[in-house]
Chains A and B, each alone.
Chain A
Amino acid sequence: MNNVNQIFYKFLFMSIGLSLLILSPKIVYPQDVKIQKQLIEFSQKSLAEYIKNVITDKNFANYGFKSLKETEVARLGDPYPVMVIGLKALKAYKSETGAKPLLMDAKTFWFPVMVEGVTRTKIEIIEKDGKWIAGEFGGVRTVKEIEIVKKQLPELLESKEVKAPYKIMLIKIPALYAEFLYIESSQGEFLIPAMVQPQRFKLQNGQMYSADEVLSKLREFAKEIDENKVM
Chain B
Amino acid sequence: MRGKIILLIMVVFILLALVSGCCNPPKIASVGVNLIPQQRDWWCWAATTEMISEYYGHKVNQCDSANYVHGTPPDCCTGCTGDCPCWGSDWGATINDIKNNWTNWKFNYTYLASSLPWEDPNKDDVKDTLSPTAYCKKSPIQVVWWWYPNPGWNGGHVVAAYGYAEIGGVKYISYFNPLPPDCEKPGNVCNQVTGGEDAVSTYDAFVDDGVHKWGDSFYDFKYIGP
Query: Do chains A and B interact in one complex?
Result: yes
**A contact set with B: CB distance below 8 Å:** 49-50, 53-54, 59, 62-63, 82, 84, 86-89, 104, 106-108, 124, 126, 128, 133-142, 172, 174-175, 177, 196-197, 199-200, 224-231
Beyond contacts A172-B211, A177-B179, A229-B42: 16 other A-B pairs, Cβ-Cβ < 8 A, are A53-B172, A62-B35, A63-B198, A84-B147, A84-B211, A104-B148, A141-B195, A174-B148, A177-B41, A197-B185, A224-B89, A228-B94, A230-B94, A230-B144, A231-B44, A231-B156
Q: Which stretch (B10-18, B51-59, B108-116, B200-208) binds chain A?
A: B200-208
Interface contact B148-A106, CB-CB below 8 Å? yes
A-B contact pairs, 20 of them (CB 8 A): A53-B172, A54-B172, A84-B211, A87-B147, A88-B153, A104-B148, A135-B202, A135-B209, A139-B199, A140-B197, A141-B195, A177-B41, A199-B185, A224-B89, A224-B90, A227-B153, A229-B42, A229-B156, A231-B89, A231-B179
Total interface residues on B, CB under 8 Å, equals 54
B170 proximal to A (CB < 8 A): yes
Q: Is the CB of A229 within 8 A of B155?
A: yes
> How far, in whole Å, are A199 and B168 apart by their CA atoms in the complex?
44
Interface of A is mostly: mixed
Chain B residue at minimal CB-CB distance from A196: B180
Q: Which residues of B in the span 208-224 have a Cβ within 8 Å of any Cβ on A?
A: 208-212
Interface status of B160 (Cβ within 8 A of chain A)? no
Complex contact A225–B209 (CB within 8 A)? no
A133→B210 CA distance, assembly (Å) = 12
Q: Is the CB of A54 within 8 A of B209?
A: no
How far, in angstroms, from A178 to B45 measured CA to CA in the complex? 18
> Taking the nearest CB of chain A, how far is it from the CB of B181, in angstroms?
7
The complex places the Cα of A142 from the Cα of B185 at a distance, in Å, of: 17
Interface string of B152-191 (1 = CB under 8 A from A): 1111111000000101101010100101110011110000
Closest 7 CB pairs of A and B: A229-B92, A175-B155, A138-B199, A62-B198, A135-B205, A196-B180, A87-B154
Contacts of A63 in B (CB 8 A): 198
Measured between alpha carbons, how far is A94 from B200 in the docked complex, in Å? 37
Q: Please, which residue of chain B has its CB at the minimum distance from the CB of A59?
A: B198
B36 within 8 A of A: no
* A231, B157: Cβ atoms closer than 8 Å: yes
Q: A50-B200, A136-B209, A174-B157 are in contact. Are A197 and B149 (CB under 8 A)?
A: no
Nearest residue in A to B87 (C-beta to C-beta)?
A200
**B148 and A226: CB pair below 8 A?**
no
**Distance, CA A109 to CA B73, complexed state (A):** 44
- Chain B hits for A133, CB < 8 A: 202, 204-205
Q: Which of A63, A88, A136, A197 has the most CB of B within 10 A?
A: A136
Residues of B within 8 A of A142 (CB): 180, 197
Q: Does B150 contact A (CB under 8 A)?
A: yes
If A86-B149, A133-B204, A138-B197 touch, does A107 touch B210 (CB 8 Å cutoff)? yes
- Given A53-B165, A128-B210, A196-B180, answer yes or no on A87-B155 (Cβ-Cβ < 8 Å): yes
Please give, as numbers and ranges, the residues of chain A lying within 8 Å of B148 by CB-CB distance: 84, 86, 104, 106, 174
Tell me whether B121 is interfacial, beta carbon within 8 Å: no
Contacts of B186 in A (CB 8 A): 197, 199
The answer on a CB contact under 8 Å between A124 and B44 is no
Say if the beta carbon of B93 comes within 8 Å of chain A. Answer: yes
| Residue among A63, A174, A200, A224 having the largest count of chain B Cβ atoms under 10 Å | A174
Could you tell me the distance in whole angstroms from the C-beta of A109 to the nearest C-beta in chain B?
Answer: 11
Contacts of B210 in A (CB 8 A): 84, 106-108, 126, 128
Residues of B within 8 A of A139 (CB): 177, 197, 199
Which chain A residues border B170 with CB–CB below 8 Å? 49, 53, 134
Q: Are A138 and B198 in contact (CB under 8 A)?
A: yes
Given contacts A141-B197, A224-B89, contact A108 B209 (CB under 8 A): yes
Report the bound CA distance from A53 to B43 in whole Å. 31
A49 touching B168, Cβ below 8 Å: yes
| Chain B residue nearest in CB terms to A129 | B204
A230 to B45, Cβ gap below 8 A? yes
